[in-house]
A and B are shown apart, each in its own frame.
Chain A
Amino acid sequence: DTAVSQTPKYLVTQMGNDKSIKCEQNLGHDTMYWYKQDSKKFLKIMFSYNNKELIINETVPNRFSPKSPDKAHLNLHINSLELGDSAVYFCASSGGQGLIAKNIQYFGAGTRLSVL
């Protein structure tokens, strides 16, 4: 069974559209993350949720809105897509509050978003 699963794997869409990427983890973790990886392979955190509560919210456009219906899911909704949103988006999760548990993040396979 996949521990952290993201859907879809590929997403091609037109500028101006609204799209969502879903993420689910079956590890019982209480913290989930969204990362953006740009064309230069640079990973940058966007959001982090702990027990459905937002704890990290980096400076991302407010067109990006994370939604966590429960602690196993963290979905990313993007409004009014722009060309610069094209990237690979990774979801990750981690469990517990101890240093080791908090630091071991399990990543999804990524969603490659192409905005045309």
Chain B
Amino acid sequence: KNEVEQSPQNLTAQEGEFITINCSYSVGISALHWLQQHPGGGIVSLFMLSSGKKKHGRLIATINIQEKHSSLHITASHPRDSAVYICAVRSYNTDKLIFGTGTRLQVFP
């Protein structure tokens, strides 16, 4: 079992829908990241969280440290949001980044 699990693995949506991607982890962490990998392969860091909630444009990321769970929300989804979204946590003990397997999102017009 991976230390970082994401759900769903694949997600399709119609343009305009509200999207939620979940991430659960089993280790103590000092920070959690949400990354976006475009179809061309490039990876972009979206958020770094250690508590609470962050918002950037149509993207919202939340984290519940007690429940070891984070969610990434996309409001008013658009086809250009189609990408793989990756959750990664920095282990408090080892200081290493541990990645989830990603969620492939496809938004259709």
A23-70 residues at the B interface, CB under 8 angstroms = 40-45, 56
Q: A82-116 interface mask toward B, CB cutoff 8 Å, 1 = contact, 0 = none?
A: 00000010101000000110011111011010000
Task: Determine if B101 and A100 form an interchain contact, defined as CB atoms under 8 angstroms apart.
Answer: no
- Total count of chain B residues near the partner, CB < 8 A: 23
We find that the number of chain A residues with CB closer than 8 angstroms to chain B is 20
Which of B35, B43, B50 touches A110 (beta carbons < 8 Å)?
Answer: B43
| B interface secondary structure, majority | strand
A88-B41, A107-B44 in contact; A40/B101 too (CB < 8 A)?
Answer: yes
User: What total of A-B pairs shows CB separation below 8 Å?
Assistant: 47
Identity of the chain A residue whose Cβ is nearest the Cβ of B49 in the assembled complex = A103
Is A106 in contact with B45, judged by CB distance below 8 angstroms? yes
A56 to B43, CA, bound (A): 21
Query: Which residue on chain A has the smallest CB distance to residue B104?
Result: A41
| Distance A64 CA – B50 CA, assembled complex (angstroms) | 33
CB within 8 A of A43: which of B40, B45, B99?
B99
Decide if B90 touches A42 in the complex (CB within 8 Å): no
- Where the two chains meet, the residues of A that have a C-beta atom closer than 8 Å to any C-beta of B are 40-45, 56, 88, 90, 92, 99-100, 103-107, 109-110, 112
Which residues of chain B have a CB within 8 Å of any CB of chain A? 30-31, 33, 35, 37, 40-45, 48, 50, 84, 86, 88, 90, 96-97, 99, 101-102, 104
